[in-house]
Amino acid sequence: MDFVETSSGSVSIVASGPVPAAPAGEQIAPVATNERITALDTVRGFALLGILLMNIVAMGMYGAAYDNPTVTGGATGANLAVWAVMHVLAEGKMRCLFSLVFGASIVLLTSRLEKRGDAADIYYRRNSWLILFGIAHAYLLWVGDILYPYALCALVLYPFRKMPAWRLIRIGLSVLLITSLAYIGKGFSERDMLQKGVAAQAAVNAGSKLTAEQKEQLEEYEKWRHFSQPTEEELTRDKNEWRGNPISVIKARAKFVAFFHGMPYYGPMNWDIWSMMLLGMGLFKLGVLSAQLPSRTYAKMAAWGYGIGIPVTSCTAWIIIRNNFDPVIQSFTGVTYDIGRLTIALAHLSVLMLLCKSGTLASVTKSLGAVGQMALSNYIATSLITAFIFTGYGFRMYGQLQRYQLYYVVAGVWAFNLIVSRIWLRHFRFGPLEWLWRSLTYWKRQPMRLRQPEEPPATVHATA
């Protein structure tokens, strides 16, 4: 199939029959500016900005406060209200959108490359470089880096690229169901661990000698407590590490990165990513992510999405607050997590598609599209800015702001992303990191300024 962008910014998908192999010697290049799907860029930009709504908490204060505001940063008044609103409308939803778009890009990239040359060579080289970018980003700037796991997960999705849309969607939903059920197991496991850990601690306090099994239970409980319910002394120590010199900051970050990067490849974290990427691949093939469906279909999707997702996530927020963020209760409520986040994410997506199709708020969608076109550069720039604001790299404000105050920083970063992206793209074809990524992927320096000709593109030949 061919993807043809119309003057309105939507995309026509046209069946083109079997695609012949590119002639020997034909050059392969990155997507040209006029080949971009603007609706997809808009969703990517929206998701990228939205992800900061959640990341900012772990960037600016102790990580456990992400799910539990009673740990630090305030859990009453405006702080609690912010947690509740983010839980309902943003938590997981923005990452879901970003994963859907990443999945869509797999189909878009490979379908284009297969008409011109060796898609596998470019695809795997592209993701290999993204793995390296992710490792550097995680250790130097942001512990919650998503580039590394996305690139790793993408490595196994190449064989799925030609699978029919509905089969991709069924597989994605099946994986999503497994991750949802895993929350039940997590709830029982956490309850068992806490009960045994508290009992072992009580035995220690009573002066009893612990068995080997009890010692293991107490050790596991202490690891959990240290992260999830830190003492004031531990919070102070954590602040000092993040506010210290750059070496201290990197060491503090490395402890978490080493743990995340050492998790099993087939673990629940990657099931989450695979499910959403597979769904994104399928939805893109159906035209959902490229503004191809009728407006009434998107309106129905938005109504159903918000109609299901908002009540579900509002209910879990109420249960969690009512139980004072009890960790076991919070784990059990996760069984509805994917229902709430996928429905709301699709509702957000539908609203964006309606805006793209109608031309309403064109300036907003154009700005979001510019952010999305420079997603990698904006993602890294956001981490650089927040690392400078919060850590020992710069202003050392880590742990100094209440939860609601963190969103003043979010507003400033958003303004930077939106303004700079549009200005940059008036003069350049790509964001600076997109240009580097493409040049490394195609093994040739790509044209950067808009006045430069796009041909000849690169030196990777179909016969390579």
Q: How many domains does the chain have?
A: 1
> How many CB atoms are closer than 10 A to CB 103?
30
Residue 424 lies in a domain: yes
Residue 244 lies in a domain: yes
Residue 463 lies in a domain: no
Q: What is the pLDDT of residue 450?
A: 85
Q: Are 64 and 118 in contact (CB under 8 A)?
A: no
For the chain, list residues with pLDDT below 70. 1-36, 117, 452-464
What single DSSP character describes residue 208? P
The 10s digit of each residue's pLDDT in 172-213 is 999 999 988 888 898 999 999 999 999 999 999 988 888 999
Record the pTM. Answer: 0.89
Q: Which of 390, 396, 365, 382 is nearest to 433 (CA)?
A: 382
Q: What is the pLDDT of residue 10?
A: 36
Residue 447 lies in a domain: no
Distance between CA 6 and CA 13 in Å, rounded? 11
Strands (DSSP E) along 15-133, which ranges? Answer: none
Residue 46 lies in a domain: yes
Return all residues near 273 (Cβ < 8 A) that are at least 6 apart. Answer: 99, 149, 150, 153
As a dihedral over the C-alpha atoms of residue 109, residue 111, residue 113, residue 114, rounded to 10 degrees, the angle is 150
Residue 454 lies in a domain: no
Structure tokens belonging to residue 305: 């999405």
Distance between CA 271 and CA 287 in Å, rounded? 24
Residue 451 lies in a domain: no
Residue 449 lies in a domain: no
Q: What is the pLDDT of residue 119?
A: 86
Structural domain boundaries, residue 436: 2-25+37-441
Distance between CA 374 and CA 391 in Å, rounded? 25
Q: What is the SS3 assignment for 445?
A: coil
Q: Are 442 and 453 in contact (CB under 8 A)?
A: no
